[in-house]
Amino acid sequence: MRFNLKDYIDCSPLQAKVHCVKSPMPKTLEAVFLDRDGVINEEHGYEHRPQYIRLLPGAAAALRRVNELSIPVIIVSNQSGIARGYYMQDYVDSFHKQFSEILKDFGASIDHFYYCPHHPTAGEGDYTRQCDCRKPLPGLLERAARDLNLDLENCVLIGDKAIDIGARARAGCRTILVMTGYGKRDLDSWIESYRPDETASDLAEAVELILKATNLRRLNFRR
């Protein structure tokens, strides 16, 4: 089932104008950015033990569709558990290795992982500071764009939280909010600057939307 902000929120004409404006998906797709928890796997808060990785239905197959087109799949996630002292950076790296192994069993893969280990106030160590990479700030997207020579205007960001979509405001990606994870909850507290371009029930539907709109040519991408 498709969720549409216009149907989901009882909009006044003014609110409808604010909440429900859509930008078209890019015709040329250079990369797909994704939040991790709540989009690909079940959300478990700060839990990082691999035995808690539960892929959401259809998520691996959706990633595989993107992989088969040689379009890079890039995770961008906030990992403030590092700043908070819940776990070390190595632990997140090893979690991502396990995550990749699980996806591999389904023929899917992630090309790059980018994450922010910081928090502006929580914790006491080096990672407790204002940074430019904690979403909704666009630092992770901009770093990936520099590293991989991507034009963010030709990328799509899929997330389940307002802070994922907010990154779009300054980075230029098109955005899709999925209703898995915190997606439904965040619709209730929606504000203008976080509006997505599209909504989808889950990752599979989001990928379907992207591929339908895109002619799948890639420009200027060097791996």
Question: What are the residues binding Zn ion (CB under 5 A)?
Answer: 116, 118, 131, 133-134
- Measured in whole angstroms, the distance separating CA 136 from the mean position of its chain's CA atoms is 11
Give whichever of 32 and 133 is closer to Zn ion, judged by the CB atom. Answer: 133
Query: Active-site residue among 35, 111, 186, 202?
Result: 35
- Measured in whole angstroms, the distance separating CA 93 from the mean position of its chain's CA atoms is 18
Let me know if 111 is a catalytic residue: no
The nearest distance, CB 137 to Zn ion, in angstroms, is 8
The percent of the chain in helix, strand and coil, each rounded to the nearest 5, is 35, 15, 50
Let me know if 35 is a catalytic residue: yes
Give whichever of 19 and 134 is closer to Zn ion, judged by the CB atom. Answer: 134
Give whichever of 26 and 123 is closer to Zn ion, judged by the CB atom. Answer: 123
Nearest position to Zn ion, beta carbon? 131
The nearest distance, CB 155 to Zn ion, in angstroms, is 20
Give whichever of 117 and 196 is closer to Zn ion, judged by the CB atom. Answer: 117
The nearest distance, CB 79 to Zn ion, in angstroms, is 9
Query: Interior CA angle at 180 toward 121 and 4, to 5°?
Result: 110
Query: Active-site residue among 37, 111, 186, 197?
Result: 37
The nearest distance, CB 132 to Zn ion, in angstroms, is 7
According to DSSP, the residues that pair with 156 across neighbouring strands are 32, 174
Residue 116 is given by DSSP the state E
C-alpha distances (whole Å) from 5 to each of 92, 122, 154, 192 are: 34, 33, 23, 12
Query: Interior CA angle at 204 toward 202 and 206, to 5°?
Result: 70
Rounded Cα gap, residues 109 and 89, in angstroms: 21
Cite the active site residues. 35, 37
